[in-house]
Amino acid sequence: MIEVQHLTKRYGRVTAVDDVSFRVERGEILGFLGPNGAGKTTTMRILTGYMPATDGKAIVAGFDVFDQPIEAKRRTGYLPETPPLYPDMSVIEYLEFVAKIKGVPSNERASRIKQVMQRTRIDDMAGRQCAKLSKGYRQRVGLAQAILHNPDVLILDEPTAGLDPKQIIETRELIKELAGDHTIILSTHILPEVSQTCQRVVIINKGRVVAVDTPDNLTARLRGSETMYVQVDARGADAAGVLGQVPGVTRVAESDRRDGVVGYEIDSETGRDVRRDLARAVVSSGFGLLELRPIRISLEEIFLSLTTDETAAASKEETAVLEEVPDA
């Protein structure tokens, strides 16, 4: 549905987007993740035809955004970082204007607007002036504007920025709901958002793509082996020896100790679940098992490792350093 090939954008001597390529399939939600200034907005602006790229190609819904911009734009809905509202217009006037310029046929306009307002839950604000809307409503009117002409592709630049927690959840639900008949790219620098809404993630930093994968795979890929955290009440005895003898365990390291209660971090071979054996070993030795849980590398850590030093993160040795960070 969306295909980006070797996209590059330079502003004078600054390269904002550097040889970015990725694909998004129909009905998929792609998360565009990166720190501020990574080139997310620039990439989105190129995809929506707001600005041309210096080099490369972008195909949206089967149309090249440079060669057939009008056709591509007809099939794209875009919510910029700041919702593009006219402060003097009322919500309904605004949506009517947008419907006109997006080419919604005049006999469908009224019903389409009504439908979209219900969907984004702004129908109670129809007569309100855009300037007087709260941030949450502005964002939702912006979203209503983007889906008004029922586009194949939706491009949302930080759709949940500035919303309160309840609105964030509502917006995420709405986005997931829309994914059925729209292909969606959303950018964000909030990580839980990606793991909760997106099927695939593109991590971008300093204009370059550093990773493209599903949130789960990204987590797994960076975690060379499985790590468990085990807390044992050994009453002064050394539990490390017992734990080290469990089949599959490759490393045991003490991580904390308080009043005879010791916490260990235990690495095991990938793909082998050692939890049962660990529990049995602790209990049969007569120790008290207080806690046993897997340590997952959160997306935050992946993100930080990929974006702070991408070359380091790519090499396997460095990922070990990551694993010593306690569970977030």
Q: What does the binding site for another protein look like in residue numbers (CB under 8 A)?
A: 9, 11, 16, 42, 45, 48-52, 70-71, 73-74, 76, 78, 80-82, 84-89, 93, 97-98, 100-103, 145
Question: For another protein, which is the closer residue by CB, 82 or 217?
Answer: 82
Question: For another protein, which is the closer residue by CB, 23 or 109?
Answer: 109
Q: How far is the CB of 32 from another protein (least distance, A)?
A: 17
Could you tell me which of 35, 42, 43 has the C-alpha nearest to residue 303?
A: 35
Question: For another protein, which is the closer residue by CB, 86 or 247?
Answer: 86
Residue 200's SS3 state is: strand
Q: How far is the CB of 41 from another protein (least distance, A)?
A: 10
Could you tell me which of 54, 51, 50, 49 has the C-alpha nearest to residue 17?
A: 54
Question: For another protein, which is the closer residue by CB, 74 or 208?
Answer: 74
CB atoms within 10 A of CB 262: 22
Q: How far is CA 285 from CA 144, 242, 264, in A?
A: 62, 8, 16
CB atoms within 10 A of CB 63: 19
Residue 24's SS3 state is: strand
Question: For another protein, which is the closer residue by CB, 129 or 225?
Answer: 129
Q: How far is the CB of 97 from another protein (least distance, A)?
A: 5
Cα–Cα distance measured from residue 207 to residue 40, given in angstroms and rounded to the nearest whole number: 8
Q: How far is the CB of 17 from another protein (least distance, A)?
A: 11
Q: How far is the CB of 134 from another protein (least distance, A)?
A: 17
